[in-house]
Structure 1
């Protein structure tokens, strides 16, 4: 089966990002630990400050007040608790890898990759942090920020979908080219982009986490907008599973159910881990998947709803 993970990371996009100036995360961590053991004040990253001009490719320390968010940052929501945890880690170990920035007007810089680290550094009380200066096109700014967030799984499904769309728009790319840029399968990008077809209220629920991507795809599989709204309300009101939502969607398309009255919800008596496995398969494949049996023996049924859907599934399993 084709892997859904990234085929490249920031190092592939920025081959000089750690080689110049003798920088490596391991060396920085060792330096920071040595300073701590020696009872010396620990710098923001363990790197020595530099008075070198702020040239392209240079590592320097910059005031956090001079760092501005990437105008093409795909992420709009930051978990405050996660930032506090990262801030505690920064207090203890410093910033292991410089924040990637681009020169802006005056003395300021745009954050290209590392906004979470910058926010956490502010919470930790740091006034200066290490940065690496690079120059990017608008397309590359978005691409780098998108890859960093995807690698850390920091984007909600809607943010990821909007980022793919923006990358396609800025770079004049098709889905295949976009997927290649960020190291994803084309089907992953295609599935994400489908979420942008949801009406605004459903997109807000997706961003808030009250609606999962699997639920959203079940809603999108319903033929008419009125039935989609009914299914959405049922998901929110009753908290039904993705599998139940998919079954209801299929019944609605056949005209066998209207959801004008609540249907009886039957309890799923299968092993919780088995249900979890089924949910993961649904999320990964982006379609209805049914597991029957147990961990020792059973069957898997994978549904498709169009020729395009069948081609997409084929590529997931057999694309090299």
Structure 2
């Protein structure tokens, strides 16, 4: 094809129009030759959504290629597409369309997290470890030389935690809270995922020693609850030094002791009027009663 000046011009390929270089064209890779990304934080569940995906794969195949990289052993490592590959296996496929890209460890982590983090059904534990992995990768990457000047200025002007918060749509403080969940023992983290332990309470527990966390888990298993004021009291006591499990239980029990039973007392008008002159108003009678009770209380304290 020629332009208006008669010069020949090159037609852009479909891959170029889509922003995919030729080297990244999808190819069929044997599933048996692909291994999961190390410490992948996202769970692949055989739930209803997975079954829907399996049915779709049986009918249409895998429409979106997975992203792989070659690891240090020259083997295929999954970067993003774990759910698609699992669905392909369940559908009976032996190969899957894949793009193989050359990625460093940190670039692979960022790509993996970015491909998964916007899913609505993510569990708190998945977000926690994903945010932690990406934040650590961002800190190691620092200011990259392949970014534009504007991007570099943006990266220099803000902390990694703030940038991560902007990318995932939460505050840097909330990023910190999620990452704190990675300090919980697995049993407590499961309670958070199953909505049996409040997020904010779990964050407070994350600052407590792992052994004491195990005691807390036992307490929750026995009682079925844990209250914010119990953890607050426990952390306050731990600031003064270590405690044993019996002392912890004592702290928890003191926080949830039954409140005093409220008592209401009513005197009928007939009962009161026989002690007062007829011209006494209700206010007059109330003042006399309060005065007599005050005197009685003083006598009791002597």
Normalising to structure 2: TM-score of the pair? Answer: 0.55
Q: Is the 8 A contact 2:70 2:76 kept in 1?
A: yes
Q: Could you say what secondary structure the match of 1:132 adopts? A: strand
- Deviation for aligned residue 1:213: 3.3
2:171 to 169, 179, 185: 185
Gap change, CA 1:137 and 1:180, over 3 Å in 2: farther
* 2:218 equivalent to 1:238: no
Offset from partner CA, 1:250-309 (integer Å, 9 cap, x none)? 455678x7124794799xxxxxxxxxxxxxxxxxxxxxxxxxxxxxxxxxxxxxxxxxxx
* 2:164 equivalent to 1:164: no
Offset from partner CA, 1:118-173 (integer Å, 9 cap, x none)? 01101101122222232222112111211222222465433432333333333326
Moved more, 126-135 or 96-105: 96-105
Provide the rounded CA distance (Å) in 1 between the counterparts of 2:34 and 2:214: 43
- Is the radius of gyration larger for structure 1 or structure 2? 2
- Deviation for aligned residue 1:85: 3.6
For residue 176 of structure 1, what is the aligned residue in structure 2?
A: 162
Which structure carries more relative contact order (alpha carbon 8 Å, separation 6+)? 1
- Deviation for aligned residue 1:176: 2.1
- Deviation for aligned residue 1:182: 4.7
Q: Is the 8 A contact 1:230 1:259 kept in 2?
A: no
What value does the CA root-mean-square deviation take over the aligned residues?
A: 4.0
For residue 66 of structure 2, what is the aligned residue in structure 1?
A: 99
Gap change, CA 1:224 and 1:101, over 3 Å in 2: closer
Alignment of 1:31-110 (within 5 A): 56-71=23-38, 73-75=40-42, 77-81=43-47, 82-104=49-71, 108-110=75-77
Q: Is the 8 A contact 2:15 2:22 kept in 1?
A: no
Provide the rounded CA distance (Å) in 2 between the counterparts of 1:231 and 1:74: 25
How many residues end up aligned between the 2 structures?
213
Alignment of 1:104-253 (within 5 A): 104=71, 108-153=75-120, 155-172=122-139, 174-180=160-166, 182-199=168-185, 202-203=188-189, 206=192, 211=197, 213-220=199-206, 231-240=216-225, 245-250=227-232
Q: Could you say what secondary structure the match of 2:23 adopts? A: coil
Q: Is the 8 A contact 1:219 1:232 kept in 2?
A: no
Gap change, CA 1:62 and 1:151, over 3 Å in 2: same
Q: Is the 8 A contact 2:29 2:95 kept in 1?
A: yes
